[in-house]
Amino acid sequence: MSSSPSRITARFETLKAENRAAFIPFIMAGDPDYDTSLDLMKQLPAAGADLIELGICFTDPMADGPAIQAAGLRALAAGQTLKKTLQMVREFRKEDDATPIILMGYYNPVYSMGVDNFLAEAKDAGVDGLIVVDLPPEEDEELCLPAGKTGLDFIRLATPTTDDKRLPSVVKNTSGFVYYVSVAGITGGATGANDTVSSAVGRLKAASGLPVAVGFGVKTPERAAEIARTADAVVVGSALIEALAGALEKDQNSRDKITSAVTSLAKSLADAAHSAR
C-alpha cells in the first residue's frame, strides 16, 4: 500500500486549506442506463463535485428511500452489474485522475464477486473508498480491514443513535472521512436540526480525527449551505435522483436533458456549499 495520502485525504486537505466544505453528489451507477450514467458521472466535477459517491444497485436496498430504490431498479432493469460499475470508474479515470470516487452499497454484490477479486478490481479501476451500509464494525475482518490493506478507504456511517459507548467501535478502522447520517431513517427524509448536526459533527471529528460529511435529506441550496458552515462535506443523493427521474419522465430519449437536469441542480448545491463560510 502506498504511503502517499489517498485521493480522498488529499482532496479534504486541499479543501481545508481553502476553508470550504466539499460537495459530494450521489448517483446510482447505471441509472437510467450505462451510457447516460457515465456521461453524468463525467460531468459532475465541472458542476462542482469535489468527490463522487457511485451507488451499486442491489435488489434489497434497506437503507434507501423511494427515490434511490427506484434508481436501483432502473439500473438493474437496464442490465447494470457490479462489474459494469467498476468499468464505469475505469472509463471515468481515462479523463479524470483527480476526483475521488467512492462506491456505496450493500455487501451482497461484493460477496458474490468475492472480496479479494472485488478489491483488486476496484483498486485497479481507480476506486478510492467504500461505504458498505450493512457491514457493522463487528464484521471489519470481512471487508473493512482487507480494503485498508489494498489501499482503499473504508468510510463508516454514524447516526444520531450512535452513542458514546458505540462510537469508538464505529470510528476505529474508519478512514477517509466519517459519514454522519443526520436523521435516524432512510435516505430522502428531513435532515436534523442545525444545532444537533453541528454538535454531532464536532463530536465525530473529536472521536475520529477525520473530516465529517453530512447527508440524508439535503435537498436545497439553502440547506446545503447551512450544513457546510460546520461540516467538512455535504452529501446529496435523493434530490439529484429525483431530478433525473423527473427529466426521464419528460424526455426519455434525451440524454442531454437528463444529465442537464441533474448537473444544474448539482451546481446550485455545490455553489451554496462552497460559499457558505
Closest among 136, 133, 143, 93 to 113, alpha carbons compared: 143
3-class secondary structure, 169: helix
Which grid coordinates are listed for 191?
Answer: 435532515
Which grid coordinates are listed for 168?
Answer: 469508538
Report which DSSP code applies to 109: H
Q: Measured over all CA atoms, what is the biggest interatomic distance in the chain, rounded to whole angstroms? A: 52
- Please pick, among 53, 140, 153, 242, the residue that the annotation labels catalytic: 53
Rounded Cα gap, residues 140 and 175, in angstroms: 13
Rounded Cα gap, residues 142 and 108, in angstroms: 12
Rounded Cα gap, residues 84 and 138, in angstroms: 30
For residue 241, the surrounding DSSP H or E stretch is helix 238-250
To which residue does cell 485498508 refer? 148
Rounded Cα gap, residues 252 and 187, in angstroms: 25
- Please pick, among 31, 64, 128, 153, the residue that the annotation labels catalytic: 64
To which residue does cell 460499475 refer? 85
Clarify whether 53 is annotated catalytic.
yes
CB 104 within 8 A of CB 49: no
Catalytically active residues, by annotation: 53, 64
